Structure 1
Amino acid sequence: MLLVTFVDRIGSGLWASVSVLYFTYVSGLSLAQVGTLAAVSGAVGIAGAPLGGRIADRFPLTRILIALQLLRALASFGLLTTDHYLPLLMISAVGSLGDRASSVLTKLYAARVAGPDRVRYQAVNRTASNAGWALGGLAAAAALTLGTTTAYRWLLTGDALSFLAIALLTVSCAEPPGSSRVAATGTTPCAGKPANPWRDRTYLAYVATETVLFLDDSVFQIGLPLWIAHSAGVPHGLAPLLLVLNNVMVVALQVPLARYGTTSEAARKLLAPLSAASAAGGAALALSATGGTLQAVCLLTASAALFTLAEMLHAVVSWELSLALAPDTAQGAYLGVHGLAQSGQRSLGPLAVTAAIATGPLGWTAFGATIAATCALQHRLVRDRLRQNPLSVPPVTVSEH
């Protein structure tokens, strides 16, 4: 599955960085149409996480993953067949649905394969993901130097072919132990009605806090580039360099950091340094507006490093707690609901960081403080649940993805 992730992210790196340009220059869509297409497909994609998770508790996981990869390939190839707005909108929505569902199910597969070693398994997987994304992005940047319609189409074709490749790779993957009885019977491996995450108030509250903790994604995608663009004297070329810093740190440090979250209680304790890193990152961004160019560059770099540390710590915490709070009999359904946190952040994140930018330095201070306060809230929220009766696998150590 590690190779599946690597190939998948190469394809995503090829397409994600040029999708807006493709719809603008190849399909000829207006700015408003491109924005609406992205918003609608993203909204439809939100349903992919809970839908995929629910299905995974009823059918063999590898078969569902293969079907989803083929659906994603079909959607990507479909974009090549038309330049009309409505078909592009519908095809993009289907692709987004498949993308969000496959993301949750890949995580579920890792959890079932690794069992007690799931955190390190996911850490290695994330390292492969970042490496693949970087490789795809570099290939896309090289292709764009040609500036031709053909180059754009080949990048989209490469994305589609990556989905076909991972579907073939998934065929060779064994069904994970936790779903062996599902594969044999086509039903959930337990008697009685499985737990329903939508009626689990503690888990829903936990997912709500996760939406806030995922805001670091928007910091790197939108917040830092816009803040740099509107900061006098700061070179605009710093923005992509900070993204490179983020990527390098994740590749180098995500696996070593995973050792500190090998049990549910250990993962919960990581919320304290996560809180501190987020608050310090927001403060550094705020202070970057108070001095000269050199000070601003140093503080922006420090902020990027701090938010990257927060991102990696949250990844470890999230991998463990999202499963530790879920019953064995409904892990797919629970992970599907947890997937809504990241989907929701994609809608709320841009609004949050642009509000911080509009407010000025005080806005970034409040942004970091809000994430820090949410860490404290989550720490308290999950404490009693974990101590009373961990519904997932017992607290344990970790393996590879």
Structure 2
Amino acid sequence: MSQTSTLPPDGRQEDTAPDRRSWPVRRGLLLESGPQRRLALGGFVNQLGTAAFLATAPLYALRVIGLPLGQVGLGLGVAGVVGLLAGPPVGHLADRRGPRGVFLVTLLVQAVSMLSLLFAHSFTAFMVSMAVTDLAGASGGAARGPMIRRFGGDEVPKFRSYLRSTAFLASTFGALAAGAVIQLDSGSAYRALIVANALTFVGCAVVVLRLPELEPLPAATGSNRWLALKDKPYMAFVVLDGILWIQGEVVTYALPLWVVLHTQAPRWFTGVALAVNTVMVVVLQIRTSRGIKGGQVAGRATRRAGLAFLLGMAVIATAPGLPGWAAAAVMTAGVAVHTVGSLWHAAGSLELRFRLAPAHAQGQYSGVFGIGMGLCYTVAPGLLGLLCLSWGAPGWLAMGGVFVAAGLAVPLVVRWAGRSRELSA
């Protein structure tokens, strides 16, 4: 006698198997075991040490090496520019030779160059150590890009958003560690942090060693290491996106100085503003990235981001002249709106970073993308200082207008890229 099975009205068998995943995995707080989780863990360890070191590097040069302030700024600036040059050629090498091996080499170089700072007793030695570290760091970013794209599979925006959230979390812990070192303000404390940062590079390398080896991708006919630089739509996107990434320095650079120099808000409010920004990014970045798939959708998200930046900065600009508590409340609202814009921008930007790049040249394109972000962080302090801090409220609005213009232009560039791809095909 046969047993009659009961099916739902649509005729499909229901999946009644219990979800045996752990609670953090079900809630999206932790990725499932596999390459994505390992890559995220390696990035967390790497960013933890890097964030702590970057916050203390100028003080190490001043207090321990004994360099004058001008030489400290020059050394860090030269190192940053040198680092930008490595992206495209190393990314091309990662495409042709396989990204994991190239990434491992850059991590080991960073560990050695970081330890060399312990023996730097002159301006030249400091600048060379920092330049090699930044060169290897930029190279590592170019090699890591293809790994994110290939391990991310069909959910690269979601995976990249998770990586950004974990990087923010690591930066927060790194900043706390840096604060403790700065409070001690001793040579042994600064040196201990340098050693700890070198160990994080080694720790990241140990995690990356457990990732599957990715085979090199075959090059397209006629492709070369300067392919990305010749891609006009992609270069236009890099420029516009670099302008939009200046938004990250609004909260971390311009706002603290605005609070201290132009408002009656208590100085401790700068910590509150950073906490609001960090918590919102960590909690909401993955959720915001859902649905941001495809060039047109990502372009519209970027356009919304520009408008949010203008609104948030306009609110922050109203703080001068208000009582302390009112100024703090107004700026908290402005930071929240600005952070929503940064969530939209990050989701759209990171989708377009991979979407507009051909599959066989992800490393090279990641290197060019890194140049845009690096230049933005180089230009941001001077530009924000001129507009927001020197001009006051009109400058905040002007900077917001720049963000709006860049955001509005991105969808046009996406359509341009689509047409150029069709013609080349």
Matched, 1:190 2:222: no
1:328, distance to aligned residue in structure 2 (A): 1.5
Counting only pairs closer than 5 Å after superposition, residues 28-47 of structure 1 correspond to structure 2 as: 28-47=66-85
Partner of 1:69: 107
Matched, 1:78 2:116: yes
Of 52-61 and 159-168, deviating more is: 52-61
Given that 1:14 and 1:156 are in contact with CA atoms closer than 8 Å, whether structure 2 keeps it comes out as no
Q: Where do 5+ consecutive residues of structure 1 fail to align?
A: 183-187, 392-401
Matched, 1:279 2:310: yes
The one-letter amino acid paired with 1:378 is: V
Structure having greater relative contact order (Cα 8 Å, sep ≥ 6): 1
Provide Cα deviations, 1:224-257, integer angstroms capped at 9, x if missing partner: 1111121242212111221122111111111111
2:392 to 341, 360, 364: 360
Counting only pairs closer than 5 Å after superposition, residues 239-250 of structure 1 correspond to structure 2 as: 239-250=270-281
Of 231-240 and 347-356, deviating more is: 231-240
In 2, Cα distance between the equivalents of 1:246 and 1:49?
29
> Which secondary structure state, in structure 2, belongs to the residue aligned with residue 270 of structure 1?
helix
The one-letter amino acid paired with 1:227 is: W
1:140, distance to aligned residue in structure 2 (A): 2.6
In 2, Cα distance between the equivalents of 1:260 and 1:230?
41
The one-letter amino acid paired with 1:328 is: A
Provide Cα deviations, 1:64-93, integer angstroms capped at 9, x if missing partner: 000000011011100011221111111100
Given that 1:246 and 1:308 are in contact with CA atoms closer than 8 Å, whether structure 2 keeps it comes out as yes
Matched, 1:174 2:212: yes
Given that 1:194 and 1:329 are in contact with CA atoms closer than 8 Å, whether structure 2 keeps it comes out as no
> Which secondary structure state, in structure 1, belongs to the residue aligned with residue 290 of structure 2?
helix
Provide Cα deviations, 1:194-214, integer angstroms capped at 9, x if missing partner: 261222111111111111111
Given that 1:278 and 1:307 are in contact with CA atoms closer than 8 Å, whether structure 2 keeps it comes out as yes
Provide Cα deviations, 1:101-155, integer angstroms capped at 9, x if missing partner: 2123223211111122101111111111111121222223234333321111111
The one-letter amino acid paired with 1:3 is: L
Given that 1:324 and 1:390 are in contact with CA atoms closer than 8 Å, whether structure 2 keeps it comes out as no
In 2, Cα distance between the equivalents of 1:337 and 1:64?
17
In 2, Cα distance between the equivalents of 1:242 and 1:390?
45
Q: TM-score, normalised by structure 2?
A: 0.86
Matched, 1:87 2:125: yes
Partner of 1:54: 92
Q: Where do 5+ consecutive residues of structure 2 fail to align?
A: 1-38
1:382 to 414, 418, 422: 414
1:61, distance to aligned residue in structure 2 (A): 0.7
Partner of 1:23: 61
> Which secondary structure state, in structure 1, belongs to the residue aligned with residue 185 of structure 2?
coil
Of 309-318 and 63-72, deviating more is: 309-318
Given that 2:234 and 2:417 are in contact with CA atoms closer than 8 Å, whether structure 1 keeps it comes out as no
Partner of 1:109: 147
Partner of 1:325: 356
Matched, 1:4 2:42: yes
Provide Cα deviations, 1:347-383, integer angstroms capped at 9, x if missing partner: 2111210011111100000101110111001111212
Root-mean-square deviation (Å): 1.8
Q: 1:13 to 1:141 in 2, by over 3 A?
A: same
2:188 to 123, 140, 150: 150
In 1, Cα distance between the equivalents of 2:154 and 2:142?
18
2:285 to 251, 254, 275: 254
The one-letter amino acid paired with 1:265 is: Q
In 2, Cα distance between the equivalents of 1:141 and 1:350?
22
Partner of 2:23: none
Matched, 1:215 2:246: yes
Given that 1:107 and 1:122 are in contact with CA atoms closer than 8 Å, whether structure 2 keeps it comes out as no
Q: TM-score, normalised by structure 1?
A: 0.91
Matched, 1:371 2:409: no
Given that 1:48 and 1:99 are in contact with CA atoms closer than 8 Å, whether structure 2 keeps it comes out as no
Of 373-382 and 47-56, deviating more is: 47-56
Partner of 2:231: 200
> Which secondary structure state, in structure 2, belongs to the residue aligned with residue 192 of structure 1?
coil
In 2, Cα distance between the equivalents of 1:369 and 1:189?
43
1:389, distance to aligned residue in structure 2 (A): 4.6
In 1, Cα distance between the equivalents of 2:318 and 2:116?
47
1:37, distance to aligned residue in structure 2 (A): 1.0
Given that 1:281 and 1:307 are in contact with CA atoms closer than 8 Å, whether structure 2 keeps it comes out as yes
> Which secondary structure state, in structure 1, belongs to the residue aligned with residue 146 of structure 2?
helix
1:49, distance to aligned residue in structure 2 (A): 2.1
